[in-house]
């Protein structure tokens, strides 16, 4: 009898270990980092598609159903993914650990005064696109490793090993990206939205203007004329254009000033372990092709 009980308990434990920890995330970047840290012990998914605007996501019952089966949910925070709160509530998952991945980030563009509607879609807590600095990717990875270890204490050693591997590869590849992008240091560029300040800081680019006069507001003729003057005075040749925003402003700048419009999503292509790192490869290649 005792032998059968022992075998039953052992079989249940093995089955438990074989079932990956379900980890949801608001964006693919957080899901990819979690997969890199967690390896085979986790299965990750993201709610927002990489080619969709993460500021505004339609909450669907399918999102709630998937989060209902998750153990950990990774939020961007800083006001970007407030829509995730409705998904978490709708999932009715009382075992879910919700983790704000911005909590250790050195936040850029945090308003110092009063924020009102005249400023457009400004984030009072600061710019939430922090994952576009690889150093912040390492910060997020440490936060994620702690969250996974809390949810799955038996996997703590595995998560610490995964974190160490990720940090090592990130450091190696970041050095390579910096070498490739060295010719761009100090170069002035335009962006459509304020998605790229962390990337610009990380690699020494200078954002000389944005196509949006204020966040969430399309450009008018006067603002485009001002951008043309800036492009001439500061030799701006590149615009980083998020694919989900209107194209007309970028097309105008291309026609009038020969500015290369690079349609690049701020998020990586999927929740796989290598997708976060490969995204920087893609951005570097696009910039090299436009210089």
**285 in the same domain as 167:** no
Please say if the pLDDT value at position 87 is more than 80: yes
Which residues, in sequence order, are CB contacts of 204 under 8 Å at separation 6+?
181, 182, 184, 185, 186
Quick one: which H or E segment has residue 250?
A: helix 248-257
Tens of pLDDT, residue by residue over 170-202, are 999 999 999 999 999 999 999 999 999 999 999
pLDDT tens digits for 251-286? 999 999 999 999 999 999 999 999 999 999 999 999
3-state secondary structure 145-160: HHHHHHHCHHHHHHHH
Q: Are residues 248 and 146 in the same domain?
A: no
CA distance 138 to 145: 10
Confidence of residue 123 (pLDDT cuts 50, 70, 90): low
Instruction: Check whether residue 134 and residue 211 sit in a common domain.
Output: no
Task: Tell me which of 80-94, 114-128, 135-149, 161-175 is least confident.
Answer: 114-128
Report the predicted TM-score, pTM, of the whole model to 2 decimal places: 0.91
Residue 138, classified by CB atoms within 10 Å of its CB into exposed (0-12), middle (13-18) or buried (19+), is middle
pLDDT at 145 over 60: yes
Say yes or no: 147 and 186 in one domain: no
Residue ending a domain, choose from 127, 148, 177 = 177
Asked whether residue 173 falls in the same domain as residue 73, the answer is: yes
Indicate if 141 and 228 belong to the same structural domain: no
Asked if 169 and 268 sit in the same domain, the reply is: no
**Domain housing 151:** 2-177
Read off the pLDDT of residues 197-240 as tens digits, 9 standing for 90 and up: 999 999 999 999 999 998 888 999 999 999 999 999 999 999 99
151 and 137 in a common domain: yes
Task: Please identify, among 177, 203, 237, the residue that sits at the C-terminal boundary of a domain.
Answer: 177
Compute the average pLDDT of residues 27-43: 98
Output the domain CATH number for residue 23: 3.40.50.1980
Other beta carbons within 10 angstroms of residue 204's beta carbon come to 13
Query: What pLDDT score does 208 carry?
Result: 98
Question: Quick one: 57 and 165 in the same domain?
Answer: yes
Greater pLDDT, 19 or 3: 19
Q: Are residues 193 and 155 in the same domain?
A: no
How confident is the model over 12-20, as a mean pLDDT? Answer: 60
Please check whether residues 172 and 233 belong to one and the same domain.
no
User: Of 177, 204, 224, which residue sits at a domain end?
Assistant: 177
Handedness of CA 244, 247, 250, 251 (dihedral sign): positive
Say whether both 210 and 173 belong to one domain. Answer: no
Least confident of 8-12, 85-89, 180-184: 8-12
Give the count of domains, the chain: 2
């Amino acid at each position: 009898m005792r032998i059968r009980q022992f075998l039953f308990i052992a079989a249940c434990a093995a089955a438990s270990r074989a079932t990956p920890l379900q980890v949801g995330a608001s964006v693919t970047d957080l899901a990819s980092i979690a997969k890199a840290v967690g390896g085979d012990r986790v299965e990750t998914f993201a709610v927002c598609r990489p080619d969709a605007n993460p500021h505004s996501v339609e909450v669907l019952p399918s999102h709630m159903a998937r989060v209902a089966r998750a153990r950990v949910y990774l939020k961007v925070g800083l006001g970007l993914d407030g829509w995730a709160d409705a998904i978490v509530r709708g999932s009715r998952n009382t075992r879910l650990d919700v983790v704000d991945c911005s909590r250790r980030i050195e936040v850029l563009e945090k308003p110092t005064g009063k924020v009102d509607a005249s400023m457009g879609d400004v984030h009072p807590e600061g710019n939430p696109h922090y994952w576009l600095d690889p150093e912040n990717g390492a910060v997020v990875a440490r936060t994620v490793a702690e969250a996974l270890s809390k949810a799955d204490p038996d996997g703590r050693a595995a998560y610490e090993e995964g974190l160490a591997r990720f940090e090592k590869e990130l450091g190696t590849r970041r050095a390579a990206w910096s070498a490739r992008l060295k010719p761009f240091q100090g170069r002035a560029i335009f962006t459509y939205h304020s998605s790229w300040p962390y990337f610009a800081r990380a690699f020494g680019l200078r954002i000389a203007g944005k196509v949006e006069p204020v966040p969430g507001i399309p450009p008018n003729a006067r603002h485009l004329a001002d951008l043309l003057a800036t492009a001439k005075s500061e030799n701006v040749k590149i615009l980083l254009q998020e694919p989900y925003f209107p194209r007309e402003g970028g097309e105008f700048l291309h026609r009038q000033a020969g500015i290369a419009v690079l349609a690049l999503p701020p998020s990586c292509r999927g929740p796989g372990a290598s997708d976060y790192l490969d995204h920087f490869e893609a951005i570097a290649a696009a910039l090299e092709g436009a210089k």
